[in-house]
Structure 1
Amino acid sequence: MTEKMESRLSEAAMKGSVESLINLLQQDPLIIDKAIASCISQSPLHLSSLLGHLDFTTELLTRKPEFAAELDSEGSSPLHLAAAKGHLEIVKRLLQAAPEMGMVRNSDGRTPLHVAAMKGRVEVVAELVRVVPESTRIVTDLGETGLHLSVRHNRVEALRVLVEVMRRDGELVNWRDCDGNTILHIAVAKKQIEIINFLLTNGSVEVNALNRNGSTSLDILKQSPRDLRDSEIEDSLRHAGGLSAKDLHLITGEWVPTKGPQIAKRLSSHQKSSKKPIPKHKHTDWLGRKRSALMVVASLIATVAFQAGLTPPGGVWQDDYQLDSNGNPVDDPHTVGTAVLAYKDPIQYGAFMIFNTIAFLASLSIILLLVSGLPLKRRRWMWIQMVIMWISITAQVLTYFLALRNMSPSSAQSMLREVTEISVLTWLCLMLVVFIGNVVRMNLWILRKNENLIEADSSRASQTVQGALYAFPITEIFLELGRTVCAAMVTQLSVHIVASIELITEKNVENTAESKQNRNQRQGIGKNG
């Protein structure tokens, strides 16, 4: 009789007949308890959740909410089945009854979030993440998160939802599986162009992350069989700063394949575990892109400054001119190979060489630091190099205007002065924007550090937390203050340089007028003679 009743209960669950369920309960009020105690492969709640019978599921959960925690013969809960099929309302009911089941892995090592991500159940993924955000940190037996599974099964929309949520959680977007592969590695290996472009434009993915084999995403592309998509993928990766492991080695000075993070696998548990901090990867994509950009710009400025030093405005004398035809010393002697400007206007030539030398040496300093192999991989060193680059670029700009000044005839000096004033004013405004932006970033950085420190030390005594809050940021505040002072010094230097240019220009105008007057006097003396 009991087996027949259980069979009728299973049949009612498959049909979703609430009326049949009520009739069976009237005949045997313990039939649901007996179904739980029996060894059937799937309970009535599993069947109704799988088939999407909302009313039947709701009735069962109302009478026996603990039914939601039962597992079938494959270790799957009703939530696993409902999530796989995309039955959103049933998922909501099951989460209300037993939210802890969102953390449970089945015999395949997958949580309901993993299953929903694999199937592309976007709404279910969003609901699971909202109710059980800790489930985003649970991984499979292969160390894969929901992101990895959505990429492997090409579920773009599910990936978008997960990335949007995990972006707030630091390093989860760049989580590595047991082989050290990030989601970008997998997307490139499968040549999923839409996912690759989304990840690269998202802004938080590490394009040059290394897997256990020491391969970047660009290396993965080169190692895979070639097809028509390769060119587009390679262009996207390089546009985002993608490098091969070999090129990355030249920039960072090290070549150590990064190991995947040691992930604590959270097995089936009915207790919510607290968030664990995720270790930061040593070689961040941000630093790689900055090093690459600094190297290119520094090399370009050094090349231009070197060429300008050898060929100053006006060129060099092509002959020696010390004595006239009668053997008498001339008024304006010069030597072959020397700069014409150095004889005609020593002040302008001196200013030109000073600014050009500053640009040249500053650029060479950056190049030397980048290729030295020293462990300058912290962001503070990168900011110092960026300040040096500001100085180099500013000196290069001033060198340009001095060269332009000496190449322009007297009739164009007034127009040149206006162009110089407008250009320098624009440059100062740009420097001011950069200065303000860095001040804002410094303040946000300090606030973020304080928030992270409060969260990390929340379990400690209040006195310890307060002491850490006031002690920890002091060093970093001074570093940021140093950056701010450097930027202010560059700006102030530019102001003084503008004033110097104006004085030099006025001096040259006076010299030109005096030279004309002397020539006129000599011509008058010659005529009288």
Structure 2
Amino acid sequence: MGKSLAKKEEKEARESRLHLAIEHDDVDELHNLIVEEPELLDRISKHPFPNTPLHIAAAAGKIDVAMELAILKPSFTRKLNPEGYSPMHLALQHEQYHIVRALMTTNPRLIRVRGRGGITPLHFVAQRKVDDEKENEKLMELLAEFLVVCKSSIEDLTNQYETAVHVAVKNHNLEAFEVFLIWLRRVREVEILNWKDKDGNTVLHIAASENQPKIIKLLTPRVDIDVRNFQNKTALEIFQGNSSGDEDLAKRFRRSWLERQHVPKIFLLEFLRKEPTCFEQLKTFMALQTQSARETILIVATLVAIATYQAALTPPGGYWQDNSLNAPANSVAVTANSSGIAVEKPHQAGNMILAGSRLYMFTVLNSLVFFISIIAIWITSIPQLPHTLTVYLLMIFLSNSYLCNLAFAIPKSTEVPVSIVFLGFYFISLAVGFLGPFSLWIHYSGLIVRIKSTGRRVATS
């Protein structure tokens, strides 16, 4: 009994020393305690929702001990205490921004840790607005750092299905909203502004109900105005029902609403009842390949394109180095020898020496292989459209360069028949490999934009 009591007192003494070490930001004492009892940190943090030493250090702004604990026990950085807060949440609450930045440096994904109510550190900063201009500027700087360090944090939702943009608007935080808006435009994710909360309200619905004219003016050109919430009201109807609504803004609202009415809408259920479009079928077919298979195809196609392009630059026989406009006077102009190489034929410097049927065969076969490799690169890029649009355009430029090289190198006497055959291959390949999938993608993208769905973000696997 006495021995058990002594051990208990010893443990309590160590815990008391640990608190003192945190209070004095003493890393050496922390390690001394761990040497004495290696299980110390685990023992005092064994509960499902522990108030770990890192929570205490983060709230108190003890950066040396906090960072040492984050290194020794990385799991502490994501744990929630009984109140539902992580160490980063507590550091934000106590305005210990140097601790926040230090934790963010060790693991940027800590910005996405969902605490009480599903609120992440990004939500917390978005909802907080202080009267002091300098302090508010520090918060906005931290908000910007969160977005740059962890781009996907903008997609996180609270338990009310609210994005950080929803939270900023609800709390009349115009500065934070402006940062979010510019960021979403920069990363091309403005569609997030159309996401709905648990009541079906978009950011525009909230701005209209809270009568925030500055935010409404910024939003109307960029969001879907005729979206209805779960009370079957549009943002315009909510704004018009607000007795303090600005009449000039209401007119602008109505004008923007009328401008968008000519765009036909379809519902998600209606879309899913339709047969898959040609682009969907093509995209699905190409996506069935494994990632390694797509990479192999892309590498091989690229190597073939390089080889055939190089062959067009260095054809068999090479190029004439001088000009010769007249054949010898004592003989008929010889068009080609037994090897298919022109001999004393009128020519210009820079023309291919190869002539006759062998020139046709080389040009056609080399061009055919070149364009097949280009098409293979295009098709492999289809599942990643529109992100691979640059690849499509670069292949167009490469094909045009190939065409120009041959056009300048083919001898005048044979350039008409060869050019006809070559141009036929070129434009057919272009239409099949690029214009076909690209036009199907344009049609499919327009269809998706017109879909009126729930406006909720749903995680996909």
- The TM-score, its normalising length taken from structure 1, stands at 0.44
Q: Which has the higher contact order (CA 8 A, sep 6+)?
A: 2
In proportion to residue count, which structure has more helix?
1
Q: Which has the larger radius of gyration?
A: 1
